[in-house]
Amino acid sequence: MHYYSTNNKSIKVSFREAVLKGLSNDGGLFMPVSVPSIKRSFIESIENKSFQEIALEIAKGFIHNEIKDSDLEKIISDSINFDAPVVRLNDNHFILELFHGPTLAFKDFGARFMARTFSYFNRNNDKELIILVATSGDTGSAVANGFYLAEGIKVVILYPSGKISDIQEKQLTTLDKNITALEIAGTFDDCQKLVKSAFVDKDINERLNLSSANSINIARLIPQSFYYLNAFKQVKKFGKKIIFSIPSGNFGNLTAGLFAKEMGLKVERFIAAVNSNKVFTEYLVTGNLEPKPSIRTLSNAMDVGNPSNFSRIVDLYKNDLESIKKSIYAKSFDDDQTISAIKEVYEKFNYVIDPHGAVGYLASKDFIEKYGEDNLIITLETAHPSKFVDIVKSVLGIEIDIPERLKECLKKEKQSIRLSDKFSEVKNFLLSMN
């Protein structure tokens, strides 16, 4: 399997190079020359497959012998060792819980898979690998946890100062050893821009062995496609057309879903559920993506004003707006609506949902009101509500159980290095690591 740059299809690299580089030298994102298909017989008998068997089948198609099957099987078993259950709200609305991993967020799937894949590819390299990642919340903690103590790998996480939850900050700033947190005076978009600038900087690339764990890296999206098929396995028995509602910020999760559909998963449509950062919903109306400064919201992991994976979505649909609109419905909601949704889900279904899942629920509800209840909608719950305990507690007036693994990190002391949003400062820091 080869991968090309979204900026130049003549630039083709192996899976290994796409993973280790993260971003093409021309600034483009890597895409598979063709999305691998899954045998129809596999999907028809998917209810008899384990989550790990589903993951292995998908991964083999994207990696195509660059990792031996026996080694890939070990990577899968080590990284995808927790569940992603589908919970029923009512006859046509379900929740896909993606928070059962170590850091209680869906990013654990990608981060753990990537950490083991990076280690595999870098095992015979004397030069230390530096993973550079920007986070709007959960990515940082998942990457920090996934790569913690990985031999021959250092991780540098950029996060926007004062714009992530206290718990999220604790999760990504309380690890030491090979993990460094850079607290940037700016927004997530500033952090993302700094990461992209580092990847195309000549001095940095000559002196450092750099890669990324953001959803700009194709290896983050592959494991995120696993749980779409695993969710289908759990609801196949109902025999309804399936729609996924996806809380969306940088659109990596949605892109992974689109990959799953291209592979052969039977999906009627996807819903891009966004908060007040609604550049994508506006794109579907105007046909033009106009990046804007991100707006701070309660669903902070979705506070993205210039989604990176937009280029992959456009590429996948050959820049055909009408085709994109047939596959993706989008709707945005503000914080007041998010708060109302958290209350509604608890009162109607006795289910505690986090702010991101609440936005997904609102988009699902909106879709049902417009198009009826014939479909089965699965809303992705991307983070455990305890990660937003202050918000959820104030809205519902109840105590939220905090898992023990989260309580432990709250006892630790924050360790971060404060920098401005100037690239020169980040560049100097990175070069000082050499």
Q: Which residues are catalytic?
A: 107
Encode 194-205: b = buried (16+ Cβ within 10 Å), e = exposed: bbbebbebeebe
Q: What is the DSSP letter of 151?
A: T
Please choose, from the candidates 188, 189, 187, 209, the residue with its C-alpha nearest in 3D space to the C-alpha of residue 199: 209
Coil, helix or strand for 37? coil
**Cα-based angle 354, 349, 251 (whole degrees, multiple of 5):** 35
**Phi then psi dihedrals of residue 418, to 5 deg:** -85, 130
Edge-to-edge strand list for the sheet holding 8-14: 8-14, 2-5, 30-32
Q: Which residues contact 118 (CB under 8 A, 6 or more apart)?
A: 19, 20, 129, 131, 147, 150, 153, 211, 219
Indicate the helix (H) or strand (E) that contains 218: helix 218-235
Compute the distance between CA of residue 140 and CA of residue 80 in angstroms, rounded to an integer: 18
Quick check: 268 and 241 in contact, CB under 8 A?
A: yes
Quick check: 198 and 426 in contact, CB under 8 A?
A: yes
Quick check: 35 and 263 in contact, CB under 8 A?
A: yes
Which residues are paired to 296 by β-bridges?
A: none
